[in-house]
Amino acid sequence: MSHSKLTHKTILALTASILAAGSGQAYELNLGTNMPPIDFHGFISQGFLASTKYDYLANNTKDGSFKFSEAAINASINPFPRTHIAAQGFLFDVGNVGEYFPALDYASIDYTFCDEFGVRAGQIRRPEGIYNSIQDIDLARTSVLLPQGMYDSRWRDFSGSIDGGSVFGNVDLHKVGGLGYEAYGGMVHLADDGGIARLLQDSLRNPPTHYKHVNGFPEFGLQLWYNTPVDGLRFGYAFVDALDFSYDYDVNIPPFISLSYHSTINAVEHHLSAEYLYKAWTFQAEYKYATYYSHDQINGARQSITISSTDTWYVSAAYRFNKWLEAGAYYTEDYANVGDRNGSTLATHSDGYQKDAALSLRVDPTSWWVFKVEGHYIRGTALLYDTASNPSRGGDGWFMLAVKTTFSF
């Protein structure tokens, strides 16, 4: 059976299941009188992206693109005391990334010794900031697109899950609130058709370079949340160390030049978050600073290390008018090099930054159906990546429309 036939059957089956569920209730699979049931939840999303000037996120958004879809089914059970098992299958398509290929999003088991300490093992969603572990979940936010400098839709294979383990817990600080933590470590496995691989292919596809493959890498991190005594107000800090992410490519200019490159990047990130839920309002702000230590090996000979830093931030506010209507706005900036925020050292200055103001409207006609529409005014081109599709770039502002609907159960 071809991949596309399998994919369409999978999507149709998932859609039928969700629509048949109707009430938005989870499915329960009862295993017997002494075992708790397995809970099943799922969703399917279809989006549309259109931009006035550049192809961004999906292919050919200048003409409008429906290549913006997601679907997932998850199952969870508490089979034994203090034990939780959960797994989620996921497929998505954003431009030429994902392409509906079904993948295991996470599959983990955790044991909670007490509120203050638990352990989790398996393929786990990586906590970082407010949205990293749930960036696929359209239901869990007001906007269609998260701020892309911080939560890039195309990089989910890089940022989403690790194979490894974590320790977690919540420490009650009594009069001054509480502290939640999760420290993790494991391996990131990258697909050769994933977002990072596509980015590298786009940048290394012109002869004489020839992209070969990306390699998995170990990653460690920590997410802390300080829950203040004020209801709904919390502050977060995350640290991430991605060790030796690497990729290989060749440079061949026959008959004399044949070079084999092995490029390695060690990324260290610091991520600050603040969130305040006040009545029908949700306020959020986040800042991320990343430093990249890069070096090449050319035909096995190690070159000197180069160091670069990027940063990105956003502020957002959302207001829920009633059960079925919510509006939100955010403003975000992303810089490809903190030492050159205007991109003045780049051939195309606008590749040094991207600034995005977004207005979102979310409608929940039922508890299991969400519809969103969103407008963006963007200046800068730092996050376009696909320079071949956007050969002429500049600092003038451009608009983007994002529409999305999600069914869930």
Partner 1 sequence: MKSNFLKFGLICALLAAGSFRVLALDGAVVIANPGVAVDSLTADALKDLLTGKTKYWDGGQAVIITVLPDKTDAALQQACGMDTSAFKTFWQRLAFSGRGQEPKKAADAAELVQLVASTKGAIAIVPADAALTGVKKLEIK
Q: What angle do CA 24, 58, 282 make, to 5 degrees?
A: 50
SS3 336: coil
Kindly state whether residue 53 participates in binding partner 1, applying the rule CB under 8 A: no
- State both tokens at 49: 């992206």
Which of residues 26, 191, 359, 363 is near partner 1 by CB under 8 A? 26
Write down how long the chain is. Answer: 409
Q: Which is nearer to partner 1, 177 or 395 (CB)?
A: 177
Instruction: Tell me whether residue 173 or residue 187 sits nearer to partner 1 (CB atom).
Output: 173
Q: Binding of partner 1 at residue 125 (CB under 8 A)? A: yes
Considering only 84-92, 299-307, 349-357, 382-390, which stretch makes contact with partner 1 by CB under 8 A? 84-92
Distance CA 263, CA 162 (A): 21
Strands 217-227 and 209-215, sheet pairing: unpaired
Q: Can you tell me which of 11, 15, 27, 39 binds partner 1, judged by CB under 8 A?
A: 39
Maximal CA-CA distance, the chain = 74
Q: Does 82 bind partner 1 (CB under 8 A)?
A: yes
Among positions 7, 14, 18, 41, the unique one binding partner 1 when judged by CB under 8 A = 41
Out of 32, 33, 63, 81, name the contact with partner 1 by CB under 8 A.
81
- Candidate segments 192-200, 227-235, 254-262, 265-273, binder of partner 1 by CB under 8 A: 227-235
Q: Check: CB of residue 149 under 8 Å from CB of residue 312.
A: yes
What pairing do the DSSP bridges indicate for beta strands 68-77 and 27-29?
A: unpaired
* DSSP assigned state of 4: H
Residue of the chain from 64, 229, 365, 397 that contacts partner 1 (CB under 8 A): 229
- Identify which of residues 18 and 400 has a Cβ nearer to partner 1 in the complex: 18
Decide whether 51 or 406 has the Cβ nearer to partner 1: 406
Burial of 273 per CB tally in 10 Å (0-12, 13-18, 19+):
buried
User: Taking CB under 8 A as the rule, does residue 367 contact partner 1?
Assistant: yes
Helices and strands (H and E) in the chain: how many: 3, 19
Residue given tokens 């160091």 in the structure block = 307
Q: Which of residues 131-190 bind partner 1 (CB under 8 A)?
A: 133-134, 136-137, 139-141, 170, 174-178, 180
- Whole-angstrom Cα distance, residue 157 to residue 135? 12
Rule CB under 8 A: choose which of 10, 59, 76, 260 binds partner 1. 76
The distance of closest approach from Cβ of residue 288 to partner 1 in the complex, given in angstroms and rounded to an integer, is: 19
Out of 230, 298, 305, 338, point to the residue binding partner 1 (CB under 8 A). Answer: 230
Cis peptide before 81 (omega within 30 of 0): no
If the CB atoms of residues 109 and 346 are measured against partner 1, the closer one turns out to be 109
- The gap from C-alpha 78 to its chain's centroid, in whole angstroms, comes to 27
For residues 198-235, one letter each, b for 16 or more C-beta atoms within 10 angstroms of the residue's C-beta and e for the rest, the string is: bbbbbebeeeeeebeebeebebebbbbbbbeeeeebbb
Nearer Cβ to partner 1 (36/64):
36
Q: Does 323 bind partner 1 (CB under 8 A)?
A: yes
Q: Burial level of 67, CB count in 10 A (0-12/13-18/19+)?
A: buried
> Does 307 engage in binding with partner 1 (CB under 8 A)?
no
Question: Can you tell me the distance from the alpha carbon of 6 to that of 100, in angstroms, rounded to the nearest whole number?
Answer: 10
For residues 273-292, which are near partner 1 according to CB under 8 A?
Answer: 277, 279-280, 282
> How far is Cα 116 from Cα 383, in angstroms, rounded to an integer?
40
Q: How far is the CB of 356 from partner 1 (least distance, A)?
A: 23
Partners of 184 in the β-ladder: 166, 221
CB of 28 to partner 1, least distance (A): 9
113 or 399: CB nearest partner 1: 113
Residues in contact with partner 1 by the rule CB under 8 A:
24-26, 36, 39, 41, 72, 74, 76, 78, 80-82, 84, 86-88, 106, 108, 110, 112, 115, 124-125, 127, 133-134, 136-137, 139-141, 170, 174-178, 180, 228-232, 277, 279-280, 282, 320, 323, 326, 367
